[in-house]
Amino acid sequence: MAQEDIFKKLVAHCKEYGFVFQSSEIYDGLGAVYDYGQNGVELKNNIKKYWWDSMVMLHENVVGLDSAIFMHPTIWKASGHVDAFNDPLIDNKDSKKRYRADVLIEDQLAKFEEKMNKEVAKAKKRFGDAFDETQFRETNPRVLANQQKWNDLHARFSKALNDNDLAELKQIIVDQEIACPISGTRNWTDVRQFNLMFGTEMGSTSDGALKVYLRPETAQGIFVNYLNVQKTGRMKIPFGIAQIGKAFRNEIVARQFIFRMREFEQMEMQFFVRPGSELDWFDQWKETRMKWHRALGFGDDNYRFHVHEKLAHYANAAVDVEYKFPFGFKEVEGIHSRTDFDLSQHQEFSGKKIQYYDPELGKSYVPYVVETSIGVDRMFLQIMAASYNEEELEAANGKKDTRVVLRLPAALAPIKLAVMPLVKKDGLPEKAREIIDDLKFDFKCQYDEKDSIGKRYRRQDAVGTPFCVTVDHQTLEDATVTIRYRDTMKQERVAIADLKGMIANEVSFKALFAKLN
């Protein structure tokens, strides 16, 4: 099946099984904002637990924080977000549609590529086996003409971006005769910088309310609490502060479901280190974080590092952890060496000394910072994409059958076990409830008595429940049940008394954490 089709199916599956809903759906939705349903919220909470515990339980020197979304507006001035957290925007005056100028030009580049590829495909068909693609690309006049156009445009575009030259971006759009896909006209406004931060107002005093922002990253809440945590926690460098929380970005081009949202959640950890040691710590955190991803068992080859060619103004090293999504390798997490930029800026803008006295060195300094930053929602999508399987099964009567199964790591599964009475009578439902009442303190359980057992199994497979327990007449006689395993579909008879131990072993986070040590 084509990768795009798999992605479409995944999005539909997320809705059908209560994982992710479009926000405000009954009002036709709100762009790039999503809600998590009954199964989604459980999975999301488990992802957060996996991250949180791996940070604050497995590292003695990492502690947590929960800072407010609203912060003093000068924080965003100091961090550079007010002046530089921008995308270049252009509007079509006829359709009133808004575009990212850089994306319009990138699409134009893609058109030249497409034209070249079409020529190649045509020639390939004509010449068959004898076709030499390299030679054709080097000699065919139409391909060469398009290649030249691509080279010229690419050079001009790169220069305009690097020079931050908005007038030149507009001129490129005019010169290339790029038209609005909706109105078909070339009636463009000038290119403007568009700040990605959402602003709002706080209070309503007569002399005006305070302009505040919804935070576009959680990290700044950590930086401005550095002194509070270091002092009250008597933390010694190196140490880290971890935080999970909402972040907001007014993304102009928001696509690909929960991959790029306007309201999302981040899990960030800032690790404060001695100046000069940051690149060693950067390497260590790179490794630690990659292990965390790979411990989930989705295949080591599906992850890779992508080193940033162009560094942000505050960084002296940066790398992304990428996962092979159905739409290609894409960033899931960023690991950045942020130098002392943020703390120094806050020291300057607040006028408060933000330094650490290092008793071993006998001097004070502004600590350097290595950051690990991962989106909860993007991780959610990664896990769903990796877990979703459509399997062909051989049915008992020889006919082909299929099942959709989410092969979620058991620790992350929304429901750990489903308990099902074989029939809705003879005391079986009561026995099933008794089992749930005993196990519900330890695991998220679900009771299901509707439809055939086969259908009930399929429903649990589709939400990734690792265990199904069936209560039948024999249960009433010998206190045993049938346990059925999601991945192998194997069934075995076990004593009710053994259930808790068996399941606890499989669904605990311990097995995952053991892989991280």
Residues that bind ligand ATP (CB under 6 A): 217, 249, 251, 260-261, 264, 266, 331-334, 373-375, 377-378
Q: Nearer Cβ to ligand ATP, position 186 or 286?
A: 286
Rounded CA-CA distance 341/223 in Å is: 10
Residue least distant from ligand ATP (Cβ): 375
- The tokens 């999005």 sit on which residue? 11
Q: Nearer Cβ to ligand ATP, position 66 or 391?
A: 66
- The answer to whether 266 is a known ligand-binding residue is yes
- The answer to whether 430 is a known ligand-binding residue is no
Rounded CA-CA distance 181/462 in Å is: 39
H-helix or E-strand containing 106?
Answer: helix 101-127
Three-class SS state of 112: helix
Inter-residue contact 243 to 222 (CB < 8 Å)? yes
Q: Is the peptide bond before 409 cis (omega within 30 degrees of 0)?
A: no
Task: Provide, rounded to whole angstroms, the least separation between the CB of residue 258 and ligand ATP.
Answer: 7
- Comparing CA positions, the residue from 451, 326, 322, 369 lying closest to residue 1 is 326
Task: Provide, rounded to whole angstroms, the least separation between the CB of residue 515 and ligand ATP.
Answer: 22
Q: Nearer Cβ to ligand ATP, position 268 or 461?
A: 268
Q: Nearer Cβ to ligand ATP, position 253 or 497?
A: 253
- The answer to whether 63 is a known ligand-binding residue is no
Beta strand 363-365 pairing with 356-358: antiparallel
Task: Provide, rounded to whole angstroms, the least separation between the CB of residue 452 and ligand ATP.
Answer: 40
Task: Provide, rounded to whole angstroms, the least separation between the CB of residue 331 and ligand ATP.
Answer: 5
Q: Nearer Cβ to ligand ATP, position 226 or 264?
A: 264
- The answer to whether 260 is a known ligand-binding residue is yes
Task: Provide, rounded to whole angstroms, the least separation between the CB of residue 236 and ligand ATP.
Answer: 28
| Residue 216, φ and ψ in degrees, nearest 5 | -90, -5
Q: Give the distance, in angstroms, between the CA of residue 282 and the centroid of all CA atoms in the same chain.
A: 21
- The answer to whether 339 is a known ligand-binding residue is no
Rounded CA-CA distance 156/165 in Å is: 11
Q: Nearer Cβ to ligand ATP, position 178 or 261?
A: 261
Task: Provide, rounded to whole angstroms, the least separation between the CB of residue 179 and ligand ATP.
Answer: 27
Rounded CA-CA distance 220/66 in Å is: 12
Inter-residue contact 467 to 489 (CB < 8 Å)? no
Task: Provide, rounded to whole angstroms, the least separation between the CB of residue 33 and ligand ATP.
Answer: 10
- The answer to whether 289 is a known ligand-binding residue is no
- The answer to whether 215 is a known ligand-binding residue is no
Upper half-sphere CA count for residue 8 (Cβ side, 13 Å) = 5
Question: Dihedral of CA 226/318/386/217: which sign?
Answer: positive
Q: Nearer Cβ to ligand ATP, position 377 or 448?
A: 377
- The answer to whether 374 is a known ligand-binding residue is yes
Binding-site residues for substrate: 100, 217, 264-268, 371-375
Binding-site residues for ATP: 249-251, 259-264, 331-332, 375-378
Binding-site residues: 100, 217, 249-251, 259-268, 331-332, 371-378
